[in-house]
Amino acid sequence: MLQQRLAQPRALLAPGVYDPLTALLAEQAGFEALYLSGGAVAYSLLGRSDVGLTTATETADVLARITDRIQRPVIVDGDTGYGNAINTQRTVRLLERAGAAMIQLEDQTFPKRCGHLAGKAVVPVQEMCGKLRAALDARRSAGTLILARTDAAGVEGLEAALDRAEAYADCGVDALFVEALRTPEDMDAACARLAHRLPLLANMVEGGQTPIHGAEELGRRGFRIVIFPGGTARFVVRQLQDYYASLREHGSTAPMRGRMLDFDGLNEVIGTPALLAAAKAYEG
């Protein structure tokens, strides 16, 4: 269970995924847990920015397809719960049924935006605490963990963000996430205030507001979960830009063949031989 893994002193490194294929590849690489961000859903499903355009059911649909394909626990971004406390309860039930191991909820106003974009706003602490209590009441299993995120550091300042995180811990959540910590000193301050209470998540965004560190170093600082949520999409986009530019220029994939799997190679990765063998076993 994810809860048992988080009790270990070594930080849990969870890469970002956005569909069953990326999740399968991450599982095959040996990661112990995966992370599905709202941004990744927006990028891959809509080809648009992380500014609150996706819905709870769209995220749940993506999550369900992922958890149908892989066995690793998935931490899923539930954004703001997509509304008030009652909306949040519906979101939690949807995501739990879709196989979420941990559901992240944040204190931004709706529509939200990526935590590393400017112009965010946060709801009052009392409102967020009500949503978190509603989320805890809505889950069917205590094994479905609730992760409380605050975006207040970029709006109200670091101390206010840490105060919020402590208030959210008091609600009974299972883990905490202070978004967009700007310096190593801010990261240390968050760990000093919070890491002794609950597992604390560090969000690594390439080009974002938080300094990038490796999971081992972040674990030494006191973080217990480390995510690289959008790195997968950023890497894939860069590679596909090269691929499409080369295909357009040369009219062939020949220049890119050394960077590609062939037909049989891809089928091996996705398990086609085993799937066909399973189908044959049912032929009677």
HEC string of 243-268 equals HHHHHHHHCCCHHHHHHCCCHHHHHH
80 found inside a domain:
yes
Do residue 111 and residue 138 come from a single domain?
yes
**DSSP element (H, E) containing 13:** strand 12-17
Do residue 158 and residue 87 come from a single domain?
yes
Do residue 256 and residue 226 come from a single domain?
no
The CA-CA-CA angle for residues 272, 277, 279, to 5°, reads 95
Per-residue confidence (pLDDT) for residue 209, from 0 to 100: 85
Do residue 283 and residue 215 come from a single domain?
no
CATH of the domain at 64: 3.20.20.60
Domain count, the chain: 2
Cβ contact 81:123 at 8 Å: no
pLDDT in tens, 117-154: 676 899 999 999 999 999 999 999 999 999 999 999 98
The dihedrals phi and psi of 108, each to the nearest 5 degrees, come to -75, 160
Do residue 83 and residue 193 come from a single domain?
yes
Average pLDDT of the chain is: 95
Domain that holds residue 180: 2-236
Do residue 71 and residue 38 come from a single domain?
yes
243 found inside a domain:
no
List, as one string, the DSSP characters of 164-200.
Answer: HHHHHHHTT-SEEEE----SHHHHHHHHHHHTTTS-E
Per-residue confidence (pLDDT) for residue 79, from 0 to 100: 95
Buried-exposed string 135-158: b where 16+ CB fall within 10 A, e elsewhere: bbebbeeeebbbbbbbbbbbbeeb
242 found inside a domain:
no
60 found inside a domain:
yes
pLDDT band at 115 (very low <50, low <70, confident <90, very high): low
128: Cα within 13 Å, side-chain hemisphere: 30
pLDDT in tens, 64-88: 999 999 999 999 999 999 999 999 9
| Amino acid letter, 27 | E
pLDDT in tens, 208-237: 889 999 999 999 999 999 999 999 999 999
pLDDT in tens, 146-177: 999 999 998 999 999 999 999 999 999 999 99
Cβ contact 123:150 at 8 Å: no
230 found inside a domain:
yes
Do residue 263 and residue 178 come from a single domain?
no
220 found inside a domain:
yes
Q: What percentage of the chain carries pLDDT values higher than 90?
A: 91
pLDDT in tens, 233-271: 999 999 999 999 999 999 999 999 999 999 999 999 999
Per-residue confidence (pLDDT) for residue 120, from 0 to 100: 81
Do residue 143 and residue 279 come from a single domain?
no
Per-residue confidence (pLDDT) for residue 34, from 0 to 100: 98
Per-residue confidence (pLDDT) for residue 117, from 0 to 100: 66
Do residue 141 and residue 257 come from a single domain?
no
Question: Is the pLDDT reported for residue 178 higher than 70?
Answer: yes
| pTM greater than the 0.75 cutoff | yes
Closest to 128 (Cα-Cα) out of 77, 89, 168: 168
275 found inside a domain:
yes
Do residue 70 and residue 196 come from a single domain?
yes
Do residue 284 and residue 231 come from a single domain?
no
Do residue 95 and residue 220 come from a single domain?
yes
